[in-house]
Each structure stands twice: as structure tokens, then as C-alpha cells.
């Protein structure tokens, strides 16, 4: 009953937002690309279309005109709702229906989430894929998980970071497979060790995800050729990212791009991938994935977005989607610390947005120091939050063990 | 060198040919009410040009240079065509030399040590001119286009070039004086094509220039065999046909005629001024930018309805109605935008956006089309756009301001700070713009009615015909253009005029735009002042943030271990 009410409210919220809300520029890009596709042309004929052609095909009905134009927004909003349903499925593994629904409200009734989808951003679809990936993994459905992973990476690249955490997590303990080499535990030969490391789950994950990713790319490459590779993948290596955004690197990138001769000789942003990938692909998966997979995925995403060379508000959805599945295990929910973190995150963003507004709409030159200081402030606030989250996730084994409420873990 | 000089007197002038004084090598025109408008046309064969120019021209099929002054002027009939102020170049290379680079030529003509023009090379900087589907293209339209809003006094570089080339060794006298008059010209055209093997320079001066330095006597150059000089004194007459222009007056061929011969002739004309209303005021438009401009400036094109004092009974009738009763007409604006600013062709294909801004459609958009690139990576000159504007609905009495306004949504690229660009490349105004800002100059567009002309008209029989002005090639050959004259300053644009009030500490706009056919907008830029601090500050923040997260991981592992031990002992 309660669940039905929440879903009804979530749907109403989105219908209302689509009805009254405005349309994002990205949505016009998607629908233009869909129009090109419907005429047998390439979606990359639309300048700034940088997504898989599948997205344009998904939005094919928007080309039918009239109310169908809103189809894509409806699709993204539906993805939000499905994501909420999956979140409840994940939480129901160890929480009551009522509690699971309560946590899912963080996603389902979140006005930021609802408005981003309702204005026509495709992030809702990516979030559906990543949560489905988590769900499939926790259910030990590794073929599905591998397929979802390959598809998600094809769709938006960044989910490749989850490969690391899923791989770490899928060890013998979690998969629960009984190894035959237990006969001689004292003297395992090295093939035994290798075989032990590459559990069947890990093998399936690797093969299925790589295969899905490759096959999808081949399928897209055949009709759309080099423009597909250029715009969906290679673009991310050549982009300048000089336009103002939340990223801590933005001002440095802008300066280096505009004044190459006057650069100080060292370019921190060319090494930006090191801290980013070290955290999101190496340290967090290695240290946290086995302890708490949802928490690790949240931390990975948070680290990836925080340390990225470009960051817009849509990216916040990527980690927000993991909040409902992480918070039940967290000591932060309703704690003073958690609330301060939330307030700091909102305030840091508001400070940046204020500077951005003055630049973009009032024409005030707030690049330096305003935007730079705001982005560093926001970055440090995020690092502080991330630091607390990774500590909390790292300690969560103890918490869980104390709670003893995961039947799968203790089976 | 052949010269043709035409003095154009105001309509209704009754000119006495006794005031035309003829000598064997010159003609002097006296006793005009005010200084008349003048067109001078000089045609030179290739053999009369210096060798280095001949060499450059030998790989060019067609070259048309159109320089238009920033000073507003009333267009004398029949010279009514208009272009956005600045330097326009229309160019077709020889088929055998498609990679011909004319940037060096343009630089030697128009760049000076202090004022560079942004033109790395023709293939990089020029843009192909599109052919609109459904419109048969002018047979002679050029294939490539370039534009730069030449800053103030830039024509000086061209004059320096001319006097170096044609008046070697002299700094005084007729030759330099002749070149000096170009400072006062309203527009200058240079035309070359490989078929005629001749270069034509046409300059037009508006009527009423007081300065005597703007006028030189009509004189045969280089003595009797100087190629000829034809002088006309012409007065526009009421034409018999709506599409025609009729001129009457006197023609003199210097060295042949002892007396001026009277003449009266008419011809169909491609270009006309928008017919005046009963109030005898030239139909005009003004531009302004809605303040604050931000990173998405919106250009307003305002058509004032001149109804001083009591409101006329006729209301809006006749205001912005098509100038021609037969054949369809549509109101257009032709913009040439420097690369620092652009319009989004996708945004302008949205019917709702078009309606909201009083636009019918973006008919053509060519040149730089990148919607994201910053100024410093763009090599093309910028972009040209032809917009169809919606005229006010008939009998609309809602607008009490008595004007009609449409707007063009534009977007700025990110720019480099002023001191980094070496003067005023790419359309920067003369002003530095101040710390954190750059002043960007946007020229007035050309605004006109394009109307269907009657079939079979021979526009090219017009001795004053002007083609290759950018937008003409975007219409069919049977198109007539009725031009609005651009107006500055005293427009009724309210508080949103070009030099509008400042915002915040920066002080938006400036006085530079006053009285000239351009608007200046102030663009925020990132100054390279704190380069080192930004680099090291960012580095420090990233290292600190990274360390903070790692420390969180370490703390978590410590606490987790304790928990793990607890679990194992369970």
C-alpha cells in the first residue's frame, strides 16, 4: 500500500514536471539525432551528438510529432521509476517492505532526479543500468550482470569503473562456490591458485561484458563508421573542456587552452586521470568492494565524478542513485555528520552556481577568483564527504556483522 | 586607367549645365546646394598594375572586396544596396589552383603593424558560400567568403598601400590627395575577374560631406592618353515603372566633349530604398543588445514608426508593409558575425523560439558552425546568416511604443583576454575592455525586403548594378531588394540601446558604439594573470583532496579490521 502510494507520487511528480517543465538543450540534440536516424541518416549528422546511436533509435517515436515529442522524457522518467523499483528489490533482500520503500524515496521522490529526467536528460537510463548491474550481481546472475556492464560502458563509458569492484567482490566467499582444491589446501599448485582466483563468476563477468561491449560497438560501427567512434569515444580524449563547470580542473584547463604560451610549464590536468583512476578503479574496489558492494560503488562513482576533468550537475545523479542502497548500512543517516555533509554539499554547489549565474547571465567576469575558488571549495567539500563515506564503508563489515541481518552473507 | 565619375544630386534638383566647367583634361562641378554624392569608378587593365599584384591575380578566378564604412550614410539613388560595415571578401580561385591563398594579399592591402587581421590562410579562414536548395544561384556568385569588421581607421592601411603602389616617391599633390579622399568614402568595392582581365575600384561618397579634403576635381590621369574620363551629373527622376530607376542630367567625356550632353535614361534596378512613408522620413532600423548581455547576447532589431506628436489616423497601416504590391516580398536581415559570436542553427529551427523572437526562419547559415569551440581554436572568419523576419501583424495596435522589434539570439565563444590577441583581431573593438573583459564589436546587419521581380527583367543593364554582396547569391536572379537604412543613437529603443547602462562593477557597453553602425558588447574573459597560482593552487587542492580520501580509507580499514576480528571470533 505504502509502496503503491510512493510510486504514484513519483509518477505524478514526473508527469507534472514534464507538463510544466522546460526542455534541456541535450534533449533537442537527441530528438534531432532521432530524426536523422529515422531518415536513414547518421545521428552524428547532428552536431554535438556524442552518444551511442542506440539512444537515437530509442527515441525514434519522438519523430512522429505532436505529443510523441515528449516520448523521450517519458522514457527517461520511466527509467527513474524502474530504478526505484530495483532499489526496493535490492533493499528487500534484508529490509522490510516499508523500510525499503522509505529508502527508495530518496531516489523516487528526489526533485533533482525527477527534474533532470523530466527535462530530457538521458542520465536516468544510465542510472537504471548501473543499479540493475548491482541488483544482478547481488542476485549472483553474472551473465546478466556482464551483459549490463558491457552495455552500460557502451552507453556512457564511466561504468567501466564498476568492472573493478564487481570483479573484486565476486570471490569465492561471495559467490559461495565450493572449490575442489580444498582437498590439498596446504600445497596448491599455481594453476590451482589461478583457477581459484578466476572464479567462474569472475570468468563469466569478464567474458560476457567484454563480448557485449565489443559486439555492440561492432554493430554500431558497421552502419555508422568512424563518426561513431569519433564522437562517442575518441571525443573524450580530445575535448578541451574550457567552458565553466564544477570541475576543480576547469580554470587550469581554461588557462592552458587559451594561453598555451604563458603556461607555467607544468600541467596538472594532464595527470588528472591518476588520482581519479587510482581511487575509483584501484583503491576503493580493492579495499571496499568485498565489504560492501553498494557502498563501494557509491564511493567509486563519487570519486570518479569529484576528480573528473569536467563535471556538470547531471553527473551527480550517477552517485545519487546508490545512496538508497548504501544508507541502510551507513552510520551517517540522520547523524549530525551526515546532515552537515548534505548541507555543505548543497551550500558548496550554491556558491558555485551563484558565480556561474553572474558569469553566464549577468556577464560579470567571475572566472578568477570567484569560479575557481568556488570549484576548489566544492571539490574539497566533496573530498571531505568522500573521506567520511569510504571510512564508513570500510568499517561497515563490523557494523553488518553486528547487525547480522544479511542472510546471504552468513549462509 | 579608365575613370567614371558620377555626381548624384538630390531628387528635384534643377541643375544648370553652365555650372559644369570643362577643360581639356578635367571637369569641375560647381554651384550644388550641398556637396553631392559621388561615385568614382576606376578600371585598370592587368598590364597597368604592378608586377606583384599581377602575379597574385593570375591565380584568381574572381575576387570581390567590399569595404563598408562604420559611419551611417543616406544612400543616394541608385546606389542603395547595403552591407554590414566592415570588410567583405568574395572569392573564387582558378579551377587549376583551388588552394590559392589570398590571405597574404588581404594582409598587404588591409593589415598594418598595429592592426592585424585574422586570416591564417584561405582554406582555413574562408568559408564556402552555400547554394540554397530551390533557388537558382546567380551565375556569377563567388564560391568563398570572408569577413572582418575592420576597426576604426583601418582603411588607412589600404590607403598606405595605394599610395606606395601608385604614387611612388610623392607625399603631396594630386595622387596622394586622391587616395586621401577614400577616408571619407561610405563604401569601396574592388572587383577582379579572370575573364575581363581588369580590376575595378569603385568608391562612393555620401552627400553633404563638408570637408574639402573629401573632394578632388575630376581629372584625367596621366595626360590625354590616360584611358579616358567620363563625368556624369545626374538627378533621380520619377520612374515610369515601379521596378525601374530613372536618371536625368548631363554626361561629359573629357577630352572629347566641349559641352555636356543632356541625357535621360531608365533601367530596372536590383536595389532600391524602401519607399518613404507619407511623413517623408527614411524607413530605418536600429540594433541594440538586451542588457545584461551575459554569454548569450540577444540582438534586437527595431523598426521605429515615426509618428511624432499626435497619432496618425492611419495607425499602423503602411508601417512595415511590403514595398511592392505585385509579387511576394519577405523581410530579411543579413548578419555577418565575427567568430567570437554565433547563432545556433538548431535553436533557430525550433518554431517556438522563432515565434518568440519575431523570426520566420533562418534561411541560410554558413561559415563557422561549431557550437562549442572557443575563439582561440576557431580559424574561420566567423559566420554569415540570412534570417527572415516577421513583419508586424496588420492592424496590430497593441504596441503603443509605435515600433516593431524582433530579436536574434546569439551565443558567445570563450575569448582570450584583450592583451593576448595582438590588437583587434577577429572583431575586437579598439578598447581593451578592461580587466577581465573584452569589447566585442558587432556590425549592424543589412535589413531589406526581398521581393519577386517581374520576369524577364534585365537587372544587369543597370550601369550602377552591384552584385556579389553576400546575400544576393542566396536569392534567385529575379529578386529585388528594398533596403532599410541603419540608424544609430536617437532610436526609440528605450533603455536597451547599445551603450546601455552598466551592470555590476564592470560597466557594460561603452561609448564606442555611439553614432556608428556597430554595437559593442562587453564579454567576460579569464585573464591569464594568476596562471602560476591557479596551477599550483589546483595541484595543492587535488593532492590535499586525494590525501584526505586515502586517509578516510585508512581509517575505515582500521575500524573494519577490528570488526573483522570480532566476526572471525564469532
Min Cα separation A389/chain B (Å): 8
Q: Is B152 helix (H, G, I), strand (E, B) or coil?
A: coil
Residues of B in Cβ contact (< 8 Å) with A292: none
Instruction: Read off the pLDDT band of A331 (50, 70, 90).
Output: confident
Instruction: Please state, in angstroms and rounded to a whole number, the distance separating the CA atoms of residues A80 and B295.
Output: 33
Residues of B in Cβ contact (< 8 Å) with A276: none
Nearest to B471 by CA among B119, B187, B74, B82: B82
Selected for mutation to probe chain B from A28, A394, A406 (highest B CB count within 10 Å) is A394
Q: Which residue, chain included where needed, has cell 554569454?
A: B295
Total Cβ atoms within 10 A of residue B419? 12
Q: Which residue, chain included where needed, has cell 528605450?
A: B494
Residues of B in Cβ contact (< 8 Å) with A32: 346
Residue of A nearest to B530 (CA): A368
Selected for mutation to probe chain A from B506, B549, B552 (highest A CB count within 10 Å) is B549
A248 and B538 in contact (C-beta within 8 Å)?
Answer: yes
Residues of A in Cβ contact (< 8 Å) with B534: 251-252, 255, 368, 372
Who among B372, B503, B551 is closest to A363 (CB)? B503
Test B524 with A366 for CB contact under 8 angstroms.
yes
- A61-66, Cβ contacts within 8 angstroms, sequence gap of 24 or more: A62/A30, A62/A31, A62/A34, A62/A35, A63/A31, A63/A34, A63/A35, A63/A38
3-class SS shares of chain A: helix, strand, coil, % to 5? 75, 0, 25
Q: Each residue of B470-484: b (16+ CB within 10 Å) or e?
A: bbbbbbebbbbbbbb
Min Cα separation B509/chain A (Å): 11
Min Cα separation A5/chain B (Å): 37
Who among A46, A365, A399 is closest to B563 (CB)? A399
Q: Which residues pair with B191 in a beta bridge?
A: B64, B200
Q: CA-based diameter of chain A, in Å?
A: 74
Q: Which residues pair with A385 in a beta bridge?
A: none
Q: CA-based diameter of chain B, in Å?
A: 126
Test B528 with A258 for CB contact under 8 angstroms.
yes
Residue of A nearest to B521 (CA): A363
Nearest to B380 by CA among B68, B129, B63: B129
Per-residue pLDDT of chain B (570 residues; tens, 9 = 90+): 889 999 999 888 888 888 888 888 888 888 777 889 999 999 998 888 888 888 888 889 999 999 999 888 888 889 999 999 999 999 988 888 888 899 999 888 888 877 788 888 988 899 988 876 555 555 557 889 999 988 766 788 899 999 988 888 888 888 888 899 999 999 999 999 888 889 999 999 998 888 888 888 888 876 556 678 899 999 999 888 888 899 999 999 988 888 899 999 999 999 998 887 655 667 889 999 998 999 999 999 998 875 544 344 444 455 678 887 777 899 999 999 999 999 999 999 888 899 999 999 999 999 998 888 899 889 999 999 999 999 887 655 545 557 889 999 999 999 988 765 444 444 444 445 568 899 998 999 999 999 988 866 688 788 999 988 989 888 888 889 999 989 886 433 333 333 333 333 333 333 333 588 889 999 999 988 776 788 888 899 999 999 999 999 998 888 766 654 433 322
- Helix residue ranges, H only, B167-272: 174-180
* ipTM for the complex shown: 0.89
Task: Mention every residue, 6+ apart, whose C-beta is less than 8 A from residue B547.
Answer: none
Instruction: Please state, in angstroms and rounded to a whole number, the distance separating the CA atoms of residues A293 and A174.
Output: 11
Q: What pTM was computed for the model? A: 0.86
Test A382 with B553 for CB contact under 8 angstroms.
no
Query: Nearest 5°: CA angle at B425, between B422 and B431?
Result: 75
Test A402 with B372 for CB contact under 8 angstroms.
no
Test A47 with B544 for CB contact under 8 angstroms.
no
Q: Is A275 helix (H, G, I), strand (E, B) or coil?
A: helix
Test B376 with A376 for CB contact under 8 angstroms.
no
Amino acid at each position: 500500500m505504502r509502496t503503491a502510494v510512493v510510486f504514484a507520487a513519483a509518477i505524478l511528480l514526473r508527469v507534472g514536471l514534464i507538463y510544466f517543465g522546460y526542455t534541456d538543450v541535450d534533449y533537442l540534440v537527441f530528438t534531432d539525432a532521432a530524426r536523422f536516424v529515422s531518415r536513414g541518416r547518421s545521428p552524428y549528422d547532428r552536431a554535438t551528438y556524442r552518444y551511442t546511436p542506440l539512444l537515437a533509435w530509442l527515441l525514434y517515436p519522438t519523430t512522429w510529432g505532436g505529443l510523441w515529442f515528449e516520448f523521450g522524457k517519458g522514457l527517461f522518467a520511466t527509467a527513474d521509476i524502474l530504478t526505484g523499483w530495483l532499489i526496493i528489490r535490492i533493499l528487500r533482500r534484508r529490509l522490510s517492505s516499508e523500510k525499503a520503500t522509505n529508502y527508495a524515496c530518496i531516489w523516487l521522490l528526489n526533485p533533482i532526479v525527477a527534474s533532470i529526467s523530466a527535462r530530457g536528460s538521458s542520465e536516468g537510463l544510465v542510472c537504471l543500468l548501473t543499479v540493475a548491474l548491482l541488483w544482478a550481481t547481488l542476485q549472483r546472475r553474472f551473465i546478466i550482470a556482464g551483459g549490463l556492464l558491457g552495455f552500460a560502458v557502451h552507453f556512457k563509458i564511466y561504468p567501466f569503473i564498476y568492472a573493478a569492484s564487481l570483479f573484486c567482490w565476486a570471490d569465492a566467499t561471495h559467490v559461495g562456490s565450493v572449490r575442489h582444491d580444498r582437498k590439498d589446501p596446504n600445497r596448491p599448485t599455481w594453476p590451482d591458485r589461478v583457477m581459484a582466483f578466476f572464479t567462474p563468476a569472475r570468468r563469466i563477468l569478464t567474458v560476457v561484458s567484454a563480448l557485449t561491449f565489443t559486439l555492440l560497438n561492432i554493430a554500431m560501427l558497421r552502419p555508422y563508421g568512424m563518426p561513431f567512434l569519433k564522437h562517442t569515444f575518441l571525443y573524450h580524449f580530445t575535448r578541451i573542456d574550457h567552458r565553466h563547470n564544477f570541475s576543480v580542473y576547469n580554470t587550469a584547463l581554461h588557462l592552458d587552452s587559451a594561453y598555451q604560451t604563458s603556461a607555467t610549464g607544468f600541467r596538472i590536468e594532464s595527470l588528472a586521470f591518476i588520482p581519479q583512476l587510482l581511487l575509483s578503479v584501484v583503491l576503493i574496489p580493492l579495499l571496499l568492494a568485498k565489504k560492501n558492494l553498494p557502498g563501494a560503488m557509491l564511493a567509486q562513482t563519487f570519486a570518479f565524478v569529484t576528480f573528473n576533468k569536467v563535471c556538470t550537475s547531471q553527473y551527480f545523479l550517477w552517485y545519487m542513485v546508490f545512496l538508497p542502497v548504501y544508507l541502510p548500512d551507513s552510520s551517517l543517516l540522520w547523524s549530525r555528520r551526515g546532515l552537515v555533509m548534505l548541507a555543505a554539499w548543497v551550500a558548496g554547489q550554491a556558491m558555485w552556481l551563484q558565480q556561474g549565474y553572474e558569469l553566464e547571465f549577468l556577464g560579470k567576469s567571475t572566472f578568477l577568483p570567484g569560479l575557481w575558488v568556488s570549484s576548489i571549495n566544492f571539490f574539497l567539500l566533496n573530498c571531505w564527504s568522500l573521506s567520511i563515506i569510504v571510512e564508513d564503508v570500510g568499517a561497515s563489515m563490523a557494523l553488518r556483522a553486528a547487525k547480522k541481518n544479511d542472510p546471504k552473507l552468513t549462509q | 586607367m579608365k575613370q567614371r565619375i558620377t555626381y548624384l544630386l538630390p531628387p528635384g534638383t534643377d541643375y544648370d549645365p553652365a555650372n559644369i566647367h570643362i577643360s581639356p583634361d578635367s571637369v569641375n562641378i560647381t554651384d550644388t546646394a550641398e556637396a553631392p554624392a559621388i561615385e568614382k569608378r576606376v578600371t585598370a587593365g592587368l598590364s597597368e598594375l604592378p608586377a606583384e599584384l599581377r602575379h597574385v591575380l593570375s591565380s584568381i578566378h574572381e575576387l570581390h572586396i567590399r569595404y563598408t564604412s562604420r559611419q551611417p550614410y543616406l544612400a543616394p539613388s541608385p546606389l542603395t544596396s547595403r552591407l554590414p560595415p566592415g570588410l567583405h571578401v568574395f572569392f573564387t580561385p582558378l579551377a587549376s589552383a583551388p588552394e590559392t591563398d589570398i590571405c597574404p594579399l588581404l594582409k598587404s592591402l588591409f593589415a598594418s603593424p598595429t592592426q592585424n587581421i585574422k586570416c591564417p590562410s584561405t582554406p582555413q579562414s574562408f568559408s564556402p558560400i552555400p547554394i540554397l536548395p530551390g533557388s537558382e544561384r546567380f551565375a556569377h556568385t563567388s564560391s568563398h567568403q570572408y569577413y572582418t569588421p575592420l576597426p576604426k581607421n583601418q582603411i588607412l592601411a589600404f590607403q598606405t598601400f595605394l599610395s606606395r603602389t601608385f604614387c611612388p616617391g610623392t607625399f603631396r599633390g594630386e595622387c596622394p590627395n586622391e587616395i586621401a579622399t577614400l577616408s571619407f568614402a561610405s563604401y569601396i568595392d574592388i572587383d577582379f575577374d579572370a575573364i575581363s582581365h581588369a580590376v575595378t575600384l569603385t568608391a562612393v561618397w555620401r552627400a553633404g560631406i563638408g570637408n574639402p579634403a573629401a573632394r578632388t576635381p575630376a581629372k584625367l590621369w596621366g595626360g590625354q592618353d590616360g584611358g579616358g574620363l567620363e563625368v556624369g551629373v545626374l538627378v533621380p527622376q520619377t520612374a515610369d515603372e515601379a521596378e525601374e530607376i530613372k536618371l536625368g542630367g548631363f554626361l561629359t567625356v573629357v577630352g572629347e566633349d566641349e559641352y555636356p550632353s543632356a541625357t535621360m535614361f531608365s533601367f530596372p534596378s536590383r536595389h532600391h530604398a524602401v519607399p518613404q512613408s507619407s511623413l517623408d522620413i527614411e524607413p530605418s532600423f536600429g540594433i541594440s543588445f538586451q542588457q545584461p548581455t551575459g554569454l548569450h547576447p540577444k540582438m534586437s532589431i527595431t523598426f521605429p514608426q515615426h509618428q511624432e506628436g499626435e497619432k496618425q489616423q492611419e495607425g499602423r497601416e503602411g508601417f512595415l508593409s511590403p514595398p511592392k504590391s505585385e509579387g511576394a516580398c519577405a523581410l530579411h536581415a543579413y548578419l555577418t558575425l565575427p567568430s567570437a559570436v554565433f547563432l545556433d542553427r538548431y535553436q533557430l529551427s525550433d518554431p517556438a523560439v522563432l515565434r518568440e523572437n519575431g523570426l520566420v526562419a533562418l534561411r541560410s547559415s554558413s561559415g563557422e558552425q561549431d557550437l562549442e569551440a572557443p575563439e582561440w581554436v576557431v580559424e574561420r572568419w566567423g559566420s554569415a546568416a540570412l534570417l527572415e523576419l516577421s513583419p508586424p501583424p496588420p492592424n496590430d495596435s497593441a504596441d503603443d511604443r509605435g515600433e516593431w522589434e524582433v530579436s536574434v539570439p546569439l551565443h558567445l565563444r570563450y575569448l582570450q583576454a584583450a592583451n593576448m590577441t595582438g590588437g583587434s583581431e577577429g572583431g575586437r573593438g579598439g578598447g581593451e575592455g578592461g580587466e577581465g573583459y573584452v569589447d566585442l564589436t558587432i556590425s549592424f546587419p543589412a535589413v531589406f525586403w526581398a521581393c519577386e521581380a517581374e520576369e524577364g527583367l534585365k537587372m544587369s543593364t543597370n550601369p550602377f548594378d552591384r552584385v556579389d554582396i553576400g546575400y544576393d547569391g542566396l536569392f534567385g536572379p529575379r529578386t529585388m531588394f528594398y533596403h532599410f537604412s541603419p540608424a544609430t543613437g536617437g532610436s526609440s529603443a528605450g533603455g536597451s540601446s547599445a551603450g546601455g547602462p552598466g551592470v555590476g562593477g564592470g560597466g557594460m557597453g561603452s561609448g564606442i558604439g555611439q553614432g556608428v553602425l556597430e554595437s559593442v558588447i562587453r564579454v567576460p574573459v579569464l585573464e591569464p594573470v594568476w596562471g602560476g597560482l591557479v596551477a599550483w593552487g589546483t595541484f595543492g587542492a587535488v593532492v590535499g583532496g586525494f590525501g584526505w580520501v586515502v586517509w578516510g580509507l585508512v581509517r575505515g580499514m582500521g575500524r573494519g579490521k577490528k570488526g573483522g576480528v570480532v566476526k572471525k571470533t564469532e
